[in-house]
Amino acid sequence: MASPIRAYLNDLLNDVRQIEGGEVATYIPELAKANPASLAIAITALDGKTYAVGDADLPFTIQSVSKPFLYGLALQEYGRETVLKHVGVEPTGDAFNSTVMDEVNNRPFNPMVNAGAIAVTALVKGESYAARRQSVLDLLSRFAGRKLKFDEAVFRSERDTGARNRVIASIMSQAEMISGDADQILDLYFSQCSVLVSVRDLAAMAATLANGGINPLTGQRALAAEYVHDVLTVMHSCGMYNYAGQWSYEVGIPAKSGVSGSIAAIVPGQIGISAYSPPLDRFGNSIRAIAACKRIVADFGLHAFRSAPQSSAAIRGEASALSVRSKRARTASEREVLAREGARIGLLEAQGALFFGAAERLVRRIDEVLPQVDWLVVDMRRVYDIDLAACTMLARTYAASRKGALIFANARDPLREALSSMAAPNTLFADRDAALEYCENALIATDGAHTGASRLSLKSIDLFAGSSAGDLQALERLAKPFSFEAGQHLVREGEVGRLFFVIAQGAASVQLNLAGARTVRVATIGAGGCVGEMALLDGSPRSADVIADGRVIAYGFSIEEMMALSETHPRLLLTIFANLSRDFAERLRAANNEIRSLGN
């Protein structure tokens, strides 16, 4: 089944492709060679799963998107206080290549503008220029999760045409904001900007920051966790050049753009986003990449100030009908079908708050499991919150699934509303038990098991299994037909048990009455099942209500007449008691299996 996220990104790609305007950067000659029609979008989850569309593997130079990562390296190697002496954290209304500095503190305003990035690059440690250059490349490679390389042609092009940056470096050197060989520091800065990446790489790099500094592809720590929020904070306030304030207001997630046409954006605790398209607006930001990021954030409610928890545990448990079944009592033949074919019914139990990151993991697992089963029940009972992003993804997943195969139980109202326009009958259930019962009935029906006969056949009733022909004939003479309409009681709690029933057609629910006028269904008895048979053992008052779910045809047996019959047919009650014991043992075994499978 096609991933709903990938399908969404393909639709988004087609929409964004229609946007016109902007110009490819030409002040660096090599960048002017970029194809303005190139377009790519990628999202990486915190376990490394990446969704990428368009020119996803097309290499381009990272340019200013390198700045947050070098800033993180400086913080990690020197600490906040030392780094703050070299570069501030204040936004500036000036252009990214402005020569204006913070004269009060004698430092560049922030590390996201060229002056600040040059100051940060000057802090890179190494015994030689070559060692520092390799250190920069190794750092960016750790964030990307693979070995990157420099585009030497772009490096030379930037070095040969970087007059503005040379002026900036000269001013900073004269003011003692940087120390050392200014030309060599600039070469290192040009080198970091010329590293080749793709949108896949940038999405992974963004996801590494979203994941607290640990690369989700490799599991390797790229940045100490204590400095991640420093990097994200400065990206949020300064990462989009003179558009940073508007971006923060409209989009609301930390991001950094580069003049090659890329943007890397972070949704902390959830995902990394990247987009690439060379045509730029007047601020130096990619027009189409901004549009793509805006849409993703708006469609999935990802604004930073709309809080969302970590998404690592969206699935509480998984099982099949081999181990977890409904409360409906089954005949021996039905139990045989479920024991043989129960793997055809799958169960996923979701939990927590389902926002984008958590929902992505859930729908991905649905995509993986659904082809392996005929019915998949997704139990939402332990989902305490769900947002628009999750509802959208689950609705897309449902729309792409086989008809009737994907079933939701305990769905919260927003999800029910998202599915209501497309959901087929019997795909939204109030609880897991009803959903499992529906799937079991469908499985049993496809297997040809007989469940709907209204004619009494005692030899097919599990309670009487093993009885002799003479005993069965004697039982048949005691059977009295009963008919119950929906809502009528077959058995009422507290009454003395004088009859027990064998259901021939229909189904009835066993309900316990709890405090506060609450009731809970503990079992459903269908055709071939027995109701009230415990009276044969102890004669105690009824312990629960048994209420017809719909029209029920049943046969009643008098407890007093059964006891009298045992005097002439002594083996009958022994056979019945043995069958009751075996049934209790099977129920206990099934309950143990369910506890082991789902921990509840």
Q: 234-253: per-residue pLDDT in tens? A: 999 999 988 888 999 899 99
Pick the range with the lowest mean pLDDT from 18-22, 170-174, 283-287, 560-564: 560-564
Give yes or no: residues 532 and 582 share one domain.
yes
332 assigned to some structural domain: yes
- State which amino acid sits at residue 538: D
Give yes or no: residues 468 and 443 share one domain.
no
Give yes or no: residues 121 and 270 share one domain.
yes
308 assigned to some structural domain: no
Give yes or no: residues 225 and 273 share one domain.
yes
The pLDDT score that the predictor gives to residue 187 is 95
H or E stretch covering 490:
strand 489-491
335 assigned to some structural domain: yes
Q: Residue 574 belongs to a domain with what CATH number?
A: 2.60.120.10
Helical spans, DSSP H, in 179-303: 182-193, 199-210, 225-238, 244-250, 287-300
Give yes or no: residues 71 and 200 share one domain.
yes
Sign of CA dihedral 168, 169, 170, 175: positive
Beta bridge partners, 523, equal 510
11 assigned to some structural domain: yes
Total structural domains in the chain? 3
Q: Residue 336 belongs to a domain with what CATH number?
A: 3.30.750.24
Give yes or no: residues 273 and 395 share one domain.
no
494 assigned to some structural domain: yes
Count the neighbouring beta carbons within 10 Å of the beta carbon of residue 491.
21
- Cα angle 159, 162, 167; round to 5: 125
- State which amino acid sits at residue 112: M
433 assigned to some structural domain: yes
The pLDDT score that the predictor gives to residue 13 is 97
Mean pLDDT of the chain: 88
Alpha-carbon distances, residue 265 vs 48, 184, 240, 307, 484 (angstroms): 16, 30, 10, 16, 63
Per residue in 403-432, pLDDT (tens digit) is 889 999 998 888 888 887 776 667 899 889
Mean pLDDT of 515-520: 76
Mean pLDDT of 85-90: 92
Q: Residue 9 belongs to a domain with what CATH number?
A: 3.40.710.10
The pLDDT score that the predictor gives to residue 363 is 92
Assign 2 a pLDDT band (cuts: 50, 70, 90).
low
Give yes or no: residues 286 and 343 share one domain.
no
Structural domain harbouring 205: 4-300
- Residue written as tokens 């045809």? 553
Give yes or no: residues 281 and 325 share one domain.
no
Q: What is residue 348's three-state secondary structure? A: strand
Contact by Cβ (8 Å): 216, 44: yes
Give yes or no: residues 43 and 130 share one domain.
yes
Buried-exposed string 525-544: b where 16+ CB fall within 10 A, e elsewhere? bbbbbbbbbbbbeeeeebeb
Residue 270 and residue 267: Cα distance in Å, rounded? 6
- For residues 535 and 133, the model is more confident at 133
The pLDDT score that the predictor gives to residue 288 is 97
Per residue in 97-120, pLDDT (tens digit) is 777 788 888 999 899 999 999 999
- Residue written as tokens 């048979």? 533
Give yes or no: residues 551 and 441 share one domain.
no
Give yes or no: residues 485 and 566 share one domain.
yes
Residue that terminates a domain, selected from 386, 419, 447: 447
173 assigned to some structural domain: yes
Residue that terminates a domain, selected from 404, 423, 447: 447
Give me the DSSP letters along 376-442.
Answer: EEEEEEEEEEE-HHHHHHHHHHHHHSPTTTEEEES--HHHHHHHHTTPPTTSEESSHHHHHHHHHHH
- pTM for this one? 0.71
The pLDDT score that the predictor gives to residue 454 is 44
pLDDT above 70: percentage of residues in the chain = 93
Does the pLDDT of residue 472 top 60, yes or no?
Answer: yes
Nearest CA-CA partner of 295 in 487, 24, 8: 8
The pLDDT score that the predictor gives to residue 453 is 45
Assign 343 a pLDDT band (cuts: 50, 70, 90).
very high
Q: What is residue 365's three-state secondary structure? A: helix
Count the neighbouring beta carbons within 10 Å of the beta carbon of residue 474.
15
Beta bridge partners, 520, equal 512
Contact by Cβ (8 Å): 305, 267: no
Alpha-carbon distances, residue 123 vs 20, 99, 110, 267, 369 (angstroms): 40, 20, 15, 28, 50
452 assigned to some structural domain: no
Give yes or no: residues 496 and 583 share one domain.
yes
Mean pLDDT of 545-562: 89
- For residues 72 and 316, the model is more confident at 72
Per residue in 356-373, pLDDT (tens digit) is 888 888 999 999 999 999
Residue that terminates a domain, selected from 447, 469, 490: 447
Per residue in 119-177, pLDDT (tens digit) is 999 999 999 999 999 999 999 999 999 999 999 999 999 999 988 889 999 999 998 89
Nearest CA-CA partner of 395 in 361, 357, 364, 421: 421
